[in-house]
Structure 1
Amino acid sequence: MKLTVVGGGSTYTPELVDGFARLRDTLPVEELVLVDPAAERLEPVGGLARRILARQGHPGRVVTTSDLDAGIEGADAVLLQLRVGGQAARQQDETWPLECGCVGQETTGAGGLAKALRTVPVVLGIAERVRRANPRAWIVDFTNPVGIVTRALLNEGHRAVGLCNVAIGFQRKFAALLGAAPAEVHLDHVGLNHLTWETGVRLGGPEGENVLPKLLAEHGDAVAGDLRLPRSLIDRLGVVPSYYLRYYYAHDEVVAELRGRPSRAAEVAAMERELLRMYRDPALDEKPALLARRGGAYYSEAAVDLAASLLTGGGTPYQVVNAYNRGTLPFLPDDAVIEVQAAVGPQGPVPLPVPAVDPLYAGLMAQVTAYEELALEAALHGGRDRVFRALLAHPLIGQYSSADALTDRLIAHNREHLAWA
């Protein structure tokens, strides 16, 4: 089995490789190809990847290349984890929206739109080359904004599934609080990528007992603390929102915080420099503890599970993925991309039925879905008016004066990545 990681020079990659090594019985990878144009990142990451496999007795071969076509040739699955513009572009995404009193964040709001505009054309170009190399290959997208990027891929007919680590993070956290094995915990996870709620926590599978009320009663303070939201709000909602909901539920508070401290992009850039220094050490043969602070916790487990299900049918029966709605949430279009539990096999994901969704969440989902549709139009066709319409539709923006000012800033800061600008 051959797997290719586009963006293989990412400092995330050793987390992924560690999962391939530990879970080789689930996903027997014979060849792992890391594709990246940045040799100064790819070589230290590739070296550590080889040492991780060797330490754990994995027989697989690691290949590094800057040649995309050579890397994807014959691949059974291609994982996308690229960042167009690098951390420098992320730094911009997190700062210029604050000038207009809006959240600066790399996946939501104006910064998220900027990332989508840079990313969608590049990903579609890669996907078309994957299709020419192997029409049966699966594309697993971990590139943000996952919902918009996955929708772009599916609309073009690619065999694609979007993946995020939010759900598996909650599963592991809740399992620890409940004293249960992670495999026993099934989440009633509903929403869009980075706009999700855990409406139930079940032991034993989709039909298991819902222990969410017990979880909140006994561990509500811990859950609220992780989310940085008041315990009283969590109790009133009776569900667990993802930490991205703090941008919506405490927008002004977050803006004030972001204005008062260095950006997350600056923190990550510093971490990446240190990680790459560590990766160059020939004695290092395991992922360093610092990597846990980089983000992407449990990404490897989720990726291995998904790839195993798609390629061999050997993963767990139900997984949280990003896939077409197709009537699962009746208040959204069929071609909206939603993030829910799905039965995943070699034919792809089939979302599980979802109980009626509270209007408090359904309304926000519908508005963000409309924004994502407009964002995809802007990414595909360009134009200032399309960018403005997407920003005006976003619930974190909404005012025409803000949308106008943000449109000008977005184009100015991303001109080198926008063919139409």
Structure 2
Amino acid sequence: MKLTIIGGGGFRVPQIFEAISSDGDHARVTELCLFDVSRERLDIINSVLMQLAESLARPPRVTLTTDLDEAITGAQFVFSAMRIGGAEGRIKDERIALDLGVLGQETIGPGGLAYALRTLPHARRLAERVAALAPDAWVINFTNPAGMVTEAMRASLGDRVIGICDTPIGLMRRAVHAVGSTPDAVDFDYVGLNHLGWLRRVSVGGQDLLPGLLASDEALGGIEEARLMGFDWVRALGAIPNEYLYYYYFEREATERIRSSAETRGQFLQRQQSVFYREAHQHPGSALALWNRTKHDRESSYMAESRPEEERDNREESDIDGGGYQTVALDLMSALVNGRESTMILNVANRGNVAELPDEAVIEVACTVGAGGVAPHNVAPVTGDMLGLMQQVKAVEQLTIAASVSRDRALAWRAIAAHPLVDSISVARKLFDTYRAEIPGVAAAFE
């Protein structure tokens, strides 16, 4: 079976390689095809993979290409992990917003919309080429903003594109541990959009254990999201929020922490990964050791701005154990291929699940995956402040997609102005104009 990764020179690719090369009852990949626009990055990542392969049980054959059609042809699965504009684009996404007094973050707020505007044309092209060259392939979308990109790709691929994210899976893992159960024994209700969702029920044997979890300081102490946002707040919600809701619930604090930091997350990653790619290029024999060192630093500092200064570079090991995107993707791929049903949280079409959102809107909910495809679980009604936030952010996402398709600058301005973290129409206009002026990919999207 051929698996293609779009963005095959990306830093996380070795984690996928490790997952698909392990022993176990999972889908067996015989060819891993890496596509990237940079041959140099492909060669560097390939050096890491070849050194990893020496210690792995069943590594697949690895092929490299800078030709998109060659990469897609013959693929049964396509992982989309592109980063249009690279780390430089992310830095500008974040810094331009901060300079105008607005939250600067990769996927949340106007930074996420700038990222989307330069990414959506490439995502639609990828979807069109997959539909033409590998119509039976499944596309698993890692590319952020994942919900928006998945929704745009559905125009060509329909249900054969599925968005994934590891943050709700991590939340579920911590909650299951906190109630002293196992994943197979738990039934749950999780609903939201990508990077905006809530765990509202955790049931074992028909009994909802979430109220007891929320009442216990000891249990909440093992849940990163509760520590980030405060025990009192999650108790007031009656639910455990996805960690990215920190940026909505604590916008002022998050913005100030990011502005007062020596560098943004984008600047940190650019500095860190530039060193990795440069040193690995100069010393290919040490590529794996360099990659392992960089990976640990990257994961331990994830969402550092949400934690107190003394904890920013010391994330608890329990919060980064248990796998990430690669584990979710492999579980999804294996369930589709092997037919053994599995439950996971995915980005899929709404189709009336949340009655107040459009049917074609992509939402993030628990799904059962098997040989027949993906079946979303029905969720309890969404009401009040949770529904309001979902509706507003989904409206922003759909305005952004429409602006990209039609190359309509007014719609793009409206999208930014409608975002709940942008408090001024004039600031929204300045954001859009500055993104177009300083980020070539955003300007190109409207030519």
TM-score category by the smaller chain?
over 0.9
Equivalent in the alignment of 2:174? 173
Which one is further off, 287-296 or 241-250?
Answer: 287-296
2:58 aligned counterpart, secondary structure: coil
Q: Map residues 21-420 of structure 1 onto 2, 5 A cutoff.
A: 21-22=21-22, 24-158=24-158, 159-203=160-204, 208-216=206-214, 217=216, 218-223=218-223, 228-261=228-261, 262-276=263-277, 277=279, 281-282=284-285, 288=292, 290-295=294-299, 297-314=323-340, 316-417=341-442, 418-420=444-446
Between the aligned partners of 2:417 and 2:348, the Cα distance in structure 1 is: 26
CA RMSD after TM alignment: 2.3
Count of aligned pairs between the two proteins: 417
Cα offset for 1:198? 0.9
SS in 1 for 2:21: helix
CA contact (8 A) 1:197 1:242 kept: yes
Between 1:1-10 and 1:55-64, the stretch displaced more is 55-64
- State whether residues 171 and 186 of structure 1, in contact with CA within 8 Å, keep that contact through their aligned partners in structure 2: no
Stretch of structure 1 that moved more, 208-217 or 381-390: 208-217
Flag structure 1 segments of 5+ consecutive residues without an equivalent.
none
Report if aligned partners of 2:26, 2:330 keep a CA contact under 8 Å in 1.
yes
Runs of 4+ in 1 over 6 A off after TM superposition: none
* TM-fit CA distance, 1:374: 0.2
Q: Secondary structure at the match of 2:149?
A: helix
Q: CA deviation at 1:182?
A: 4.7
Displacement of 1:384 in angstroms is 2.2
Over the matched positions of the two proteins, sequence identity in percent amounts to 35
TM-score of the two chains, using structure 1 as the length reference: 0.92
Letter in 1 for 2:212: K
2:225–2:240 Cα contact (<8 Å) kept: no
| Equivalent position amino acid for 1:162 in 2 | G
- Paired with 2:419 and 2:441, the residues of 1 have a C-alpha distance of 24
Supply the distance in 2 between the matched residues of 1:189 and 1:19 (Cα, whole angstroms): 26
Partners of 1:202 and 1:15 lie apart in 2 by 32
Identify if the C-alpha distance between structure 1 residues 157 and 29 changes in structure 2 by more than 3 Å, giving closer, same or farther.
closer
**What amino acid is the match of 2:363?**
I
Further displaced range: 401-410 or 301-310: 401-410
Please state how far the C-alpha of 1:420 moved relative to its aligned partner: 2.3
Q: Equivalents in 1 of 2:100, 2:422: separation in Å?
A: 9
Shift of 1:76: 0.1
1:286-314 CA-partner distances (Å, limit 9, x unpaired):
87254144359521110001112223323
Question: Aligned partners of 1:268 and 1:186: how far apart in 2?
Answer: 37
8 Å CA contact 1:371, 1:393 repeated in 2: yes
Which ranges of structure 2 fall in alignment gaps of 5 or more residues? 303-322
Q: Given that residues 224 and 234 in structure 1 are in contact (C-alpha distance below 8 angstroms), is that contact kept between their aligned partners in structure 2?
A: no
Given that residues 339 and 370 in structure 2 are in contact (C-alpha distance below 8 angstroms), is that contact kept between their aligned partners in structure 1? yes
Could you tell me how far apart the structure 1 residues matched to 2:440 and 2:275 are? 30
1:209 positional shift? 3.5
Write the letter of the residue equivalent to 1:214: G
Amino acid of the structure 1 residue aligned with 2:338:
T
Deviation at 1:16, TM superposition (A): 1.1
Secondary structure at 2:10 match in 1:
coil
Structure 1 residue 345, shift from structure 2 partner: 2.7
